[in-house]
Structure 1
Amino acid sequence: MSGKVAQAISALRETIPHGRLITPEAAEKYDSLNNSYLSGFESDLSPACIFLPESKEEVAAFVRAIRPFVGDVQFAIRAAGQQPLPGCANVQDGITIDLRNLRGLKVRDGNVEIAAGERWGSVYEHLEPYGLAVTGGKSTSCGIGGLATQGGLSFYSSREGFICDNVVNFEVVVASGEILNANAQENLDLWVALRGGGNNLGIVTRFDVRTFEQGPLYGGMVWYSKPSFPGQIAALVKELTSPEADVETHFMLSIAYAQLFGNDVVCLNQLYYTQPVEDPPALAPFTHVQPQRDEMNTMKIQTLVQAATEQTGAGQSKIRCLYMNVNVKADIETLTKGGDIWCEELEAVKNAAGLMCSYTLQAYPVSLLQKTSVRGGNVLGLDPSNDPVINVLLLTYWADKSDDERVIDFMQKALKRIEQTADARGQLVPFIYWNYAFSHQDALRSYGEENVRKLQKASKKYDPHGMFQKACTGGFKLFK
């Protein structure tokens, strides 16, 4: 531990003397916290200490205490630790501020106030008795922060827009140590900038999210074989580009591989219709695909809590996990060729220990993109006039650190070939979704020059000395 880090920790102990700092000497608790990330790439990092604030005032005290050490001491901000980008939510030899103890939920004036340490599962459980829902993560284990400040899709995206576009207020600690509210009436520029700006502008301690009336929905999973996948892509493109596209739908189509399936890939549709309608016509092309594994079909009317619990799936710690992504227009040939490329590159890593991976398509329909301006704007740079967009996610889990290099190589080669194919066909969309990005992908620059300038202007206003650029180095930075 460097002398400056030791001094910063001492300053924190004096400022917040309540045992909130966990160091490696407290091995059992430290290891439990540091090994609880989704991805082992984050747990590979060992901070000098982990700070567990229990109030917004303690977060503000942290910022004021650490400010004199900017340039010498680095810190990271952790919400749920579900984003696998290395260094995004943890830091080597610095201080990780872990927000898990900021808890609390309150329904007020048509919104739900969500403390930054909550997870979406708790939000859904809290709202269910009221007959309400929000645009939130599709998994109960997902934290609020990453999805609410970097875009994010929900079951209700087609109807309600991005998760970040439904945040009506951010309670945020800025570099001065002040606690501000950012909304349509106060600090408007900061409100818009936080809708995509990630950890560049402050530490958000509470999200106020718009609610809407919602009962049970229809959804689940359908498993089938790869020869049917091109037809499913065609059906997806047809639905998304139809003038009568149904705004109650949400689609995720995947080619998946896991060693427990044997040597062949399988295909999976994760489908949702946000009304309690059994087998709605808009989903029929995807639910009736043949041949399918009937015994694995989980389509049913269920609550939001049940749907998100099913989605939680393989979220576990101490495994190797990475995402990469590219966005393309809703073009059948580009998406089909992308799946073929992924399958070809997969052959080189099929024997990696514990390998589970997928080529997953998630839709950004026009109805979703149109909600951005209606809800006040964001900095993501996606334009509804460009027609539907498909996010192509390459997701990979594996067990052994010794396989890191070749798994990353497989993902990068597949991604590059998919990008080249899309670009050659004029179908590439210059947007990278931050939560699914790897270190070599510059998500912020993909928002476009105008939005980057807007973010930089907000940074200079609310963080004039660049604390969140110099000291909070994880993720993607505005001035690099």
Structure 2
Amino acid sequence: MSTKISQAISALRQTLPHAHLVTPEAAEEYQSLNNSYLSGFESDLTPTCIFLPQSKKEVAAFVKTIQPFVGDVQFAIRAAGRQPLPGCANIQDGITVDLRSLKGIDIQDGHVQIAAGELWGSVYEYLEPHGLGVTGGKSTTCGIGGLATQGGLSFYSTREGFICDNVVNFEVVVASGEIINANAEENSDLWVALRGGGNNFGIVTRFDLRTFKQGPMYAGMVWYYKPSFPDQIAALVKELTSPDASVETHLMLSIAYAQVFSNGNDVICLNQLYYTQPIEDPPALAPFTHVQPQRAEMNTMKIQTLVQAATEQSGAGQSMIRCLYMNVSVKADIETLTTGGDIWCEELESVKDAAGLMCSYTLQPYAVSLLESTNAKGGNVLGLDPSSGPIVNVLLLTYWKEKKDDERIIGFMRRALKRIEQNADARGQLVPYIYWNYAFSDQDALRSYGKENVQKLQEVSKKYDPNGMFQTACPGGFKLCI
């Protein structure tokens, strides 16, 4: 342990004598915490100390205490640790600030106040008896922070916009150690910057989101075969470009491969479908639910609650394995999306023997109605505009077991992504936007927002963090590097 990190931890113990600080000497607790990330890429990192603040005041005390050590000591901010970007929520030989102990959910004036350590599943369970919904993660095990500051999608995004568009207030500890609120009336520049700007400005300790009336929905999964995938893409593009497209749908289409499937060496396709009203088999979903042939025994479409739908989605998640995402955005074009799937399948052949392999080529659409919600709700910094028409985010997701396969799995994903990007660019269908949560280390998500938005973010950073603490001492994620 370096002298400076030792001094920083001693200073924390002196400032917060009852603080929950976990070092490797507390082997069982330390390993339990450090092995609880979604991806082994995060657990590979070994912080010198894991700090679990019990309140926003302890977060503020941490920021003030660490200031004299900036330049010598680095830290990471962890909400739920479900974003697999290496180093995003953990730090080698530094201090990881784990927010899991910040708990609390309350409804005030049509908004739900959510402490940063909560998971979306707890939020949905709290809201369900009130007949309310909120734009939150599609999985119960996702944390609040990553999605609410980085442009994530919810079951309701077609109707309500991005998750970050629905945050009406951020309670945030800025670089001075002051606890402030950022909303439309107070620190509004920071409020907009946090809607996509990630961990560049401070540590958010509470998120206030608007709520809406919500009961059960029609949701589930439909499994089918690759020959039908082009027609499903055509149906997706038709729905997205229709002048009377439904705002009640959320659609995800995938080609998937997993060694555990009982379909030999072949890929299989999956539609994850949501209609946010309690209507059995609505016409808007019919092209996707009635696809034939399908694996009827695996069809889970039914009327279910928000909690049930998010629980089903989280069932596919795993922990303590290798996991990476990469992504690109393209226009809603049939040939571009179909060819992208073919490219992914071709590149997949090189890694099918990797132990525990589970991967997908997944399409998540951004409907025009979603993009229109941004301006109506105060704006964000993502750089997406309704005039660009409907967009489809192409996610390459891969899970595998063994570290020895890292290099070739990353190579497979990079080759596939590069070819998909080149194909889209050649067709004039490439969109520069990269979604932060699905980006790998060499994908510059922030710069994909465009020069104007990056400049806006840099100005906000200089105002609230004039010495660049969150640019240098907190290196995880994507940095503005002012």
What's the TM-score bracket when you normalise by the shorter of the two chains? over 0.9
Which residue of the partner structure matches residue 241 of structure 1? Answer: 241
What residue is the counterpart of 1:141 in the other structure? 141
2:67 matches 1:67: yes
Within 5 Å, give how 1:89-238 maps onto structure 2: 89-238=89-238
Structure 2 residue aligned with 1:2: 2
1:287-326 equivalent positions in 2, closer than 5 A: 287-326=289-328
2:260 is aligned with what amino acid? L
Post-superposition offset of 1:17: 1.1
Match of 2:281 in 1: 279
What is the DSSP-based 3-state SS (H/G/I as helix, E as strand, rest coil) of the residue aligned with 1:84?
coil
The alpha-carbon deviation at position 314 of structure 1 amounts to 3.0
Q: Secondary structure at the match of 1:13?
A: helix
Q: Which residue matches 2:78?
A: 78
The answer for the alignment partner of 1:37 in structure 2 is 37
- The alpha-carbon deviation at position 259 of structure 1 amounts to 0.6
2:479 corresponding residue in structure 1: 477
Distance 2:16 2:341 in 1: 52
Give the corresponding residue for 2:46. Answer: 46
CA distance in structure 2 between the aligned counterparts of 1:178 and 1:40, rounded to whole angstroms: 34
Letter in 1 for 2:125: E
Distance between the aligned counterparts of 2:188 and 2:35, measured in 1? 38
What percentage of aligned pairs have identical amino acids? Answer: 82
Which string of whole-angstrom CA distances, capped at 9 and with x for unpartnered residues, describes residues 82-109 of structure 1? 0000000000000000000000000010
CA distance in 1: counterparts of 2:233 and 2:213, whole angstroms:
32
| Cα distance in 1, alignment partners of residues 363 and 235 from structure 2 | 13
Report deviation, 1:113: 0.1
Deviation (angstroms), 1:339: 0.1
Q: 1:315 Cα shift? A: 2.2
CA distance in 1, matches of 2:313, 2:172: 30
In 1, Cα distance between the equivalents of 2:139 and 2:479?
27
Q: Which amino acid in structure 2 is aligned with residue 394 of structure 1?
A: L
> C-alpha displacement at 1:408, in angstroms?
0.3
Q: Any idea what SS the aligned residue of 2:73 has?
A: coil
CA distance in 1, matches of 2:358, 2:318: 13
Letter in 2 for 1:32: S
Following the alignment from structure 1 to structure 2, what is the Cα–Cα distance between the partners of residues 442 and 17? 40
What is the rounded CA distance, in whole Å, between the counterparts of 1:24 and 1:260 in structure 2? 36
Matches of 2:333 and 2:100, distance apart in 1: 41
| One-letter amino acid matched to 1:281 | P
Shift of 1:213: 0.3
Could you list the runs of 4 or more consecutive aligned residues of structure 1 that deviate by over 6 angstroms after TM superposition? none
| Deviation for aligned residue 1:313 | 1.9
* Cα deviation code 1:342-381 (max 9, x no counterpart): 0000000000000000000001000000000000000000
- Give SS of 1:77's match: strand
C-alpha deviation, 1:249, in angstroms:
0.4
Question: Per-residue displacement from partner, 1:56-98 (whole Å, max 9, x unpaired)?
Answer: 0000000000011001000000000000000000000000000
Other structure's SS at 1:58 match:
helix
Q: Distance in 2 between matches of 1:318 and 1:377?
A: 37
The answer to whether 1:411 aligns with 2:413 is: yes
Q: Which amino acid aligns with 1:347?
A: E
How far apart, CA to CA, are the structure 1 residues paired with 2:7 and 2:382? Answer: 39
CA distance in 1, matches of 2:214, 2:358: 34
Given that 2:343 and 2:420 are in contact with CA atoms closer than 8 Å, whether structure 1 keeps it comes out as yes
Matched with 2:391 is 389
Q: Where does residue 258 of structure 2 map in the other structure? A: 258
Residue aligned with 2:260, SS? helix
Give 2:432's match in structure 1, choosing from 422, 430, 433: 430
Give, as a single letter, the amino acid of the residue that structure 1 aligns with 2:466.
Answer: P
Q: Hey, what's the Cα distance between the residues in 2 that align with 1:249 and 1:79?
A: 29
Determine the C-alpha separation between the residues in 1 that align with 2:317 and 2:70.
Answer: 34
The one-letter code of the counterpart of 2:450 is G
2:87: which partner in 1?
A: 87
| Other-structure match for 2:272 | 270
Indicate conservation of the 8 Å contact 2:148/2:164, yes or no: yes
- Structure-1 residue corresponding to 2:365: 363
Q: Secondary structure at the match of 1:260?
A: coil
Q: CA RMSD in A?
A: 0.6
- Which residue of 2 is the match for residue 379 of structure 1? 381
Where in structure 2 are there 5+ consecutive unaligned residues? none
Q: Is the 8 A contact 2:150 2:197 kept in 1?
A: yes
Q: 1:14-35 CA distances to partner (integer Å, 9 max, x unpaired)?
A: 0111141100000000000000
Provide the C-alpha distance between the structure 1 equivalents of 2:209 and 2:156, rounded to a whole number of angstroms.
14
Asked whether the equivalents of residues 19 and 53 of structure 2 are also in contact (C-alpha less than 8 Å), the reply is no
Q: Who is 1:402 aligned against?
A: 404
Report what 1:456 is aligned to. Answer: 458
State the 1:131 CA deviation: 0.2
Instruction: Say how many residue pairs are matched.
Output: 480
